[in-house]
Amino acid sequence: MTTEHRPRDLVLVGHGMVGQRFLEAFVEQPGAAGWRITVLAEEPRAAYDRVHLTSWFSGTSAEELSLTPAGFLAEHGIDLRLADPAVAIDRAARTVGCASGTVLHYDALVLATGSYPFVPPVPGHDAAGCHVYRTIEDLERIRAEAQSDGTTIGVVVGGGLLGLEAAGALTALGLQTHVVEFAPRLMAIQIDEGGGQLLRRKIEDLGVNVHTGAGTQAILTGEDGRVRAMGLSDGRELPADLVVFSAGVRPRDQLARDCDLPVGERGGIVVDERCRTRDPHVYAIGECALAVDGKVYGLVAPGYAMAETAARSLAGELRDEHHFTGADTSTKLKLLGVDVASFGDAHGATEGAVDVLYSDSRSGVYKKLVIGGDGQLLGGVLVGDTESYGLLRPLAIGGKPLTTAPGHLVLPAGLAPASGPVALPDEAIVCSCHNVTKGEIRAAVAEQGCATVPEVKKCTKAGTGCGSCVKLLGAIVADELAAGGVTVDNSLCEHFGQTRSELYEIVRVAGITGFSELLDRYGRGGEGCDLCKPAVASILAGLAGGHILDGEQGALQDTNDHFLANLQRNGSYSVVPRIPGGEITPQGLITIGEIARDHGLYTKITGGQRIDLFGATVDQLPRIWRRLVDAGFESGHAYGKSLRTVKSCVGQTWCRYGVQDSVGLAIELELRYRGLRSPHKLKAAVSGCARECAEAQGKDFGVIATSAGWNLYVGGNGGMTPRHADLLAADLDKETLLRTIDRFLMFYIRTADRLERTSVWLERIEGGLDHVRQVVLEDSLGICGELDSLIDRHIACYQDEWAAVLADPDRLRRFTSFVNAPGAPDPTVTFVPERDQIRPARPDEDGRVLTPALIAGPHLEVHSA
């Protein structure tokens, strides 16, 4: 007689970030076989990235935020029940009751119910216009109300991490925004008084009104029951049309309370080092759990660590080193464009600790390290410049005395000896999301044969969480490969064994004018590829001259350069005329408006102070550009790896704070460097005073006016990995400024790798900023004459690429959607109306093909394809 063993039932309550991480960790364990898994989710969608929730406002879709890999649930037989939360637990019967009425049996129950936003119980807290900031549905409601008529002022209650995120969202939605914080400074838990003062100043400079040391007494409403104002503890009233409560969170532990599981005095389900509750069949992880150290952790990394502990424990794979006894609470993020980081004992609470400070209020940088009596790095605060966070946090966690002078760790790049991953001990945790040490990364390279960062990520999971450690991860991998005698291949591609900078020198010295010639003489055979063709095309455009669409050059270009326009998501293209310094005449505005109207284009004023026209088809591009060129406009090179814009404030000409003519200089710089082909795009700005309205310190090169001249900053950028620019030279006269920028740009173009921004190049190049300063200011390499000659040649030979296309019938022939039907619209390029303009149709929408120049009043006339 045989006995059938029924599968054991595992019920997971909650499918947030921590819940999904538990599932992934559990199914990886050998002991997970034989379990039947059911997941009860309160929200109507599967787990998504709540850390980057605010990116939803800038266009990131719910699908892009999803953390559940396609096919994952089906592959592992996981039954996910959306919008069906657990409502009751019967521990004696081992069952869970669901909102739908279903009752599920469990052999093991994991509670990952997370937390809920704390809303102060003040009068009016539930009035119309009051919101919390927790889910995608919350954000949808906030956006809808912010865009409604009559909503102009938003108030955020709470100046912590999430509160400042919410303030950034309201500001982006166009509301006048206030932040009310009961503590005496912003982010009081994470940063100290000095860091808080700088953070406040930076955020107020962005137009957000900050009120610290003030509590919310009441939400005042009008006759219609809607929010009209907020009463503060100091007696003031703030006008308000919309209120977002972001004053902290509380553990969602009601299910545990109702079934008599112990909870902490201030909430949180009590668990042991295995993440088990008092009932050995019930576990709790993430924000709903009170760990053995008496803390409720509200960060993703501790939640992931608890998830892995519970998964190993349930699968019988738990070892002592996997017990959860506490976690790193380091934080690095960007709030309203301001870089902020905190790690370890940031407030210096350890007895005998001393502070090492670096503060530059003019540049907006504050750094503090807390050093123990034995020389150990205990913690720190970084505001305005967080580049060193990846190195400092592991050093603090490592728990060993520093081998580098603390002062060197806070000084800006170029003012102190470089400290890299070699300074980290093997036990230093590099990836706190998955608790991966430097030693484990080294072992993945030396023992597992991993030779690239993606391979190490797959092997160790390092860098697959929040991503803040990826840069350090790459440096460790490179160091370990070098230490093992492995030669890191820096070849541009399989067709060229040289780097991009080496090919630049070959083309320059040998006078090569074509790709085939370069490939025949210095390549490895073949016909080239998508890596080398655009890179060589850029080099040839800068050195050999000629139009980029002529002859062999035309075949080298990528899609954007091929049509001198940016390809958009639905197959249409954008048109971006240059508007130097952001200055444009009324007639110029009228011309752009008429062109957009006549061709049915979507118009958008960009952050770079120019006007983008979206929705043009390939065959429309020449007609549009003919009118723009005739009106005096030229290509803005939005499609190329070249200078984009030189942004400016109004400067001394109009502003009462300005000390120099920032607009005039911005126009001169943009016209000087227009069309300059480079390894990556270039952005610049000129601010007329230290108030920095043009954000010059976030650009590849930025200029800030002083009473004595101009300060030049280099190597800054925004994007995914933002970097604050470094001061290259101060108080320059205009002639010296121009020559210094000339040399900086040409030295970068000459030595940078393919698709390497100035920020990355500046950190990679040996000697860093100090070396660049010696080259361009002191001519330490004796090449300034060559650099000057190259930029002078560029200025003398510049021609507008679109004007040249319009003058050549052969070049114009490429601008057609269909060779056999010139002028016919592309039926795959479709649009839908939105806010009196157009946008690309989504796959599920009935889009329309625009017929040329059919406009009726302010509304587009569209016709079926």
What would the two tokens of residue 825 be?
């619209």
What would the two tokens of residue 646 be?
């030189």
Length of the chain: 865
What would the two tokens of residue 456 be?
């190490």
What would the two tokens of residue 172 be?
């982006």
Question: CA 705 to CA 721: how far, in whole Å?
Answer: 27
Phi, psi at 101, each rounded to 5°: 100, -10
- What is the DSSP code string of 563-632? HTSEE-TTS-EEE-B--GGG---HHHHHHHHHHHHHHT-EEEE-TTSSEEEEEE-GGGHHHHHHHHHHTT
Which residues, including other chains, have CB under 8 Å from residue 563's CB and lie 6 or more apart? 573, 618, 621, 639, 814, 815
Element (H, E) at 440: helix 438-446
What would the two tokens of residue 487 be?
């030669």
Question: CA 15 to CA 414: how far, in whole Å?
Answer: 47
Question: Which three-class secondary structure state does DSSP give residue 144?
Answer: helix
| Contact by Cβ (8 Å): 689, 659 | yes
Nearest to 386 by CA among 437, 338, 328: 338
Q: Has 493 been labeled as part of a binding site? A: no
Give the DSSP letter of residue 696: G
Chain-centre distance for alpha carbon 22 = 26
| Terminal Cα distance for the chain, rounded | 70
Q: How far is CA 219 from CA 109, 150, 182, 763, in A?
A: 41, 18, 16, 50
Q: How far is CA 727 from CA 651, 716, 769, in A?
A: 20, 10, 9
| Contact by Cβ (8 Å): 662, 634 | no
Question: Which three-class secondary structure state does DSSP give residue 140?
Answer: helix
Q: Has 655 been labeled as part of a binding site? A: yes
Question: CA 400 to CA 579: how far, in whole Å?
Answer: 55
- What is the DSSP code string of 707-736? TTEEEEEES-B-SSS-B--EEEEEEE-HHH
Which residue shows structure tokens 């984009």?
A: 644
| Contact by Cβ (8 Å): 244, 132 | yes
Element (H, E) at 744: helix 734-751
- What is the DSSP code string of 267-334? S-EE--TTSB-SSTTEEE-GGGEE-TTS----SHHHHHHHHHHHHHHHTT---GGG--S-----EEEE
Q: Has 259 been labeled as part of a binding site? A: no
Element (H, E) at 759: helix 758-764
Show the 3-state SS of 512-558. Answer: CCCHHHHHHHHCCCCCCCCCHHHHHHHHHHHHCCCCCCCHHHHHHCC
Question: CA 431 to CA 435: how far, in whole Å?
Answer: 6
Nearest to 192 by CA among 343, 346, 372: 346
Residue numbering of the annotated binding site = 649, 655, 689, 693
Residue numbering of the annotated binding site for [4Fe-4S] cluster = 649, 655, 689, 693
Residue numbering of the annotated binding site for siroheme = 693
